[in-house]
Chains A and B, each alone.
Chain A
Amino acid sequence: MLYGWTGKRLRVDLSTGSVKVEEIDGTYREKWLGGRGFNSALLYREVGPDVEPLAPENKLIFGVGPLTGTFAPSSGRTTVTAKSPMGSPPGFGDSNMGGHWGPELKYAGYDQLVIQGKAAHPVYLWIEDGRVEIRDARHIWGKLVPEADAIIKEELGNADIHVAVIGPAGENLVRFACILNDVYRAAGRSGMGAVMGSKNLKAVAVRGTGAVSIARPDEFYSICAGIRERLRKDLMVQMLYDQGTWLLTMPANYEQGWFCWRNFQKGNHPDARLLSGENHRDNYLAHREGCFACPISCGRFSRIPGGRYAGETTGGPEYETLTAIGPRVGLLDPEAVIHNNKLVNELGMDSCSCGGAIAWAMECWEKGLLSGEDTGGLALNWGDQELVDKLIKMIARREGFGNILAEGSYRAAEHFGRGQDYTMTIKGHDMSQDDPRGLGFAFGIGFATGRRGGDHLQGLPCLELTGAFYPGLVKKILGTDEAEDRLSPVKKPEMERYQEDLKAVGDSLTQCTFTHSWSFAVQPEDMARLLSAAAGIDCDAEELLKTGGRIVHLERAYWNRLLVGRLEDKNPKRFTREPMPDGPNKGTVFPEDELIPRYYEVRGWDGETGFPLPEVLKDYDLGDIADELEIYRKKYLDKIKMSQS
């Protein structure tokens, strides 16, 4: 009998209609853990460098882990993986979502769902335990996310199924379209919704009546209860429950100076308190939402009581969204932000990349790089809510100027041949609203080297943000508490490495990052105890972190195989060349030239190319890809030479 995992992979080919169940054996489970690890390993093996992201050959992979759907705190998450249409070149893509969809997949009997091929017309997938059906979705195509969710539940006659769905943006192949489950929980980043749309797949509805078997139930119960008690007393958790991630606004703006104002032109605004956690909680919070088995409940459900959007309700927003379609485009009105959040969710788009594209266009307008001729007569002034509302809809429906922004800011700049300096992208993928000139230098390393371009979730190195709230923790892990200082370079490569490995473990088990890397109430030792008791194995923290490192390295190799390495590991110029103009970090730039080489050294990556060295790969039990990667390393050396000549 298998504990923790189900050991089953469901594979559906939409071109042929074939449905297969495959075994995930013990060696594979041990090597890749689950969730993100399972998905990355499959993507590396099955989706090679030549596959086009929106072609039928790309694979859309949903993965859950050995702790998903159990009593383990905050364990209900799902990773969605595919080759991403966002990057330049299109590269590795994955996105992690909360909600209750992942546990349902587990109860239906699967650790992983692989969708390949392309359906002849719009369809949706209905998985009910062992029964899998590909159903016509032509009557749902074009529907907003909440409408589609309601229709599917209605026609399947079951309100307790969980549905992962795309909106019109995904159908229209907006490059940063997302997938949402339970209406408001998004796998937002890297365009997974566009991949789903390219397969003519509107939704995946799941119902499972099974169970996750636990090897040592009494022990597992008491470990979980102990961690829950710790989380309950944890200050970070209490703050997240109280204000959600909105709590970041005040420190980000007034103390730390990384509040993304007008496409990162600066890191603070005197009126930012309009978007404070207190203001949201006291005036707009209808309800707190918890993902599966989560005692933190950082999720918000908002209601606008009056004004032009009176009566509107929506799940969220969370901090990245509220800043993306708020201050990043020059808006500080909470009602506008909540309304825009509702729009992007219901249309099915990543708020970060959507806000990023609009902000890029607004800055180009400000600098005179775009004119009315380019925009179809639209004037792109900062903070014009009527315009933002309109652009969001135009992007999702690919209308007029929106059709260009739907390609993402990187490709929009390429299209016009202008404004490249103002695309806040890494590897072609828009930044989340996080500025290393204030947020911290370990974060800056993660941005530059991250597996999905500009994004704070490569490692979420909160040791430099909240680590100081846990006396002795940073010193214990890194040997010095100097690293608690966000803007100190000391031990930052080591910090980023540690947090990346840890996050890969969390994403694979699965366990929410906020339990172990924002709050640090859950330590790697706890994760090892949870896994051991659930699955009936005997693993320790060191082994787990090594597995995390293996996953990080394989994802790195995915990029390297696309000839992406040192040259592309770069923050947007603004972060490394433009000193922060004012505020608490006035004058700061991110010291990329110092920190990235040191990070390579800490990682055991070749300083010249940024490729993992063969002996390091072997050390991570990745010897089987070392020879292949060596061929690409030689090609990459040629690329470097070309770039110098």
Chain B
Amino acid sequence: MIHKTLLVDPAKCTGCRTCEMACSLRHEAKCSPLLSRTRVIKFEAKGLNFPTVCAHCSKPHCMTACTQGAIRVDEETGAVVINEALCSGCRACLTACPHGQVGFHPEKRVAFKCDLCGGDPNCARQCPTGAIKYSGVDQFLMARRRALLARSIEA
């Protein structure tokens, strides 16, 4: 079975960073971009915004890099999750992740990353424009293909 996952459409992102607030408030009970699992990269002068999210890779580099066995895949959601209690704070996973999606908690001194909120990610739920979607991959791609074709049919 292929799980639903987080998929982004940068063209829809307005750079408001609501996702960062929803995420940090839910996971850390406070509002801080640094504690958010999802981050928006902004190029203000060019008016470009890119939401970045964890891909929850099939062969997770972070998991391979972890020497403590602290990272595992949640069978139910497919999320690659960190067990804080087992994390030694060695930061090997931060460097290993090709997408820069593992953070380091400044107070707990452990690695942290997206856990898909147990199957109902707050970032996607709260994104005002649908730039971040929690979706089946095929469904996401088909919608994309359809939108592209619809545009050329209209034109």
Contact = CB atoms under 8 A, between A and B. Distances in A.
Given A149-B44, A297-B128, A107 B33 contact: yes
The 6 closest A-B pairs by CB, nearest first: A290-B16, A301-B47, A211-B32, A290-B14, A295-B128, A71-B21
Contacts of A291: 16
Interface stretch (B22-30, B108-116, B146-154): B22-30
B17 A100 contact: yes
Nearest to B129: A297
The interface centre, meaning the residue of A150, A213, A221, A293 with most chain B CB atoms within 10 A of its CB, is: A293
B128 A228 contact: yes
Contacts of A288: 14, 129
Interface in A36-87: 69-71
A182 interface: yes
Given A71-B25, A214-B30, A313 B126 contact: no
B48 interface: yes
Nearest to A299: B14
Contacts, number: 102
Contacts of B35: 211
Contacts of A301: 47
Interface string B14-53: 1111100110111011111111000000101111110000
A160 B106 CA distance: 18
A221 B22 CA distance: 8
B31 A69 contact: yes
Contacts of A558: none
B131 to A, nearest CB: 10
Nearest to B11: A287
Nearest to A70: B31
Interface in A2-23: none
A313 B46 contact: yes
A636 interface: no
Interface of A: 69-71, 100, 107, 146, 149-150, 160, 182-184, 209-214, 217, 220-221, 225, 228, 231-232, 241, 286-297, 299, 301, 313, 315
A211 B24 contact: yes
B45 A289 contact: no
Nearest to B106: A209
9 contacts: A182-B44, A210-B32, A210-B34, A211-B35, A288-B14, A289-B14, A294-B128, A299-B14, A301-B47
A390 to B, nearest CB: 25
Which of B28, B31, B49, B106 counts the most chain A CB atoms within 10 A? B31
Contacts of A214: 25, 29-31
A564 B40 CA distance: 47
A211 B28 CA distance: 10
Contact of A220 (B17, B18, B25, B34): B25
Nearest to B46: A313
Interface string B79-102: 000000000000000000000000
B45 A146 contact: yes
A149 B45 contact: yes
A231 B28 CA distance: 25
* Most central of A71, A231, A294, A299 by chain B CB within 10 Å: A71
Contact of B16 (A69, A150, A232, A294): A294
Nearest to A73: B18
Nearest to B35: A211
Given A214-B31, A297-B128, 13 more contacts: A69-B31, A71-B21, A100-B17, A149-B45, A184-B47, A209-B34, A211-B24, A213-B30, A288-B129, A289-B47, A290-B14, A290-B17, A313-B46
Contacts of A209: 34, 106
Which of the listed residues B28, B32, B34, B42 has the most CB atoms from chain A within 10 Å of its own CB?
Answer: B32
A225 B30 contact: no
A559 B134 CA distance: 54
A297 B14 contact: yes
Nearest to B127: A295
A211 B34 contact: yes
B30 A211 contact: yes
A220 B28 CA distance: 13
Given A149-B44, A313-B47, A225 B126 contact: yes
Interface string B45-68: 111110000000000000000000
A183 B31 contact: no
Given A290-B128, A295-B128, A217 B30 contact: yes
| Residue of A150, A211, A225, A291 with highest tally of chain B CB at under 10 A | A211
A228 B48 CA distance: 24
Contacts of B22: 71, 221
Contacts of B129: 241, 288, 297
A208 to B, nearest CB: 9
B18 A221 contact: no
Contact of A217 (B15, B29, B106): B29
A52 to B, nearest CB: 34
Contacts of A221: 22, 25-26
A296 B35 CA distance: 24
A293 B24 contact: no
A184 B14 contact: no
B47 to A, nearest CB: 3
Nearest to A211: B32
A69 B18 CA distance: 10
Contacts of A295: 16, 18, 128
A292 B18 CA distance: 7
Contacts of B15: 289-290
Contacts of A289: 14-15, 47, 49
B16 A211 contact: no
A241 B25 CA distance: 25
Contacts of B125: 225
Contacts of A293: 16-18, 21
B32 A71 contact: no
A106 to B, nearest CB: 9
Nearest to B34: A209
A182 B44 CA distance: 6
Contacts of B49: 287, 289
A295 B18 CA distance: 8
B17 A228 contact: no
Contacts of A294: 14, 16, 18, 128
Contact of A70 (B21, B28, B44, B45): B21
B34 A184 contact: no
A239 B49 CA distance: 22
Contacts of A315: 44, 47
Contact of B44 (A107, A184, A232, A290): A184
A227 to B, nearest CB: 11
A315 B129 CA distance: 19
Nearest to B21: A71
A146 B45 CA distance: 7
A231 B31 CA distance: 21
Nearest to B48: A287
A148 to B, nearest CB: 11
B128 A107 contact: no
- Listed residue (B33, B44, B106) with the most chain A CB atoms within 10 angstroms of its CB: B44
Contacts of B14: 287-290, 294, 297, 299
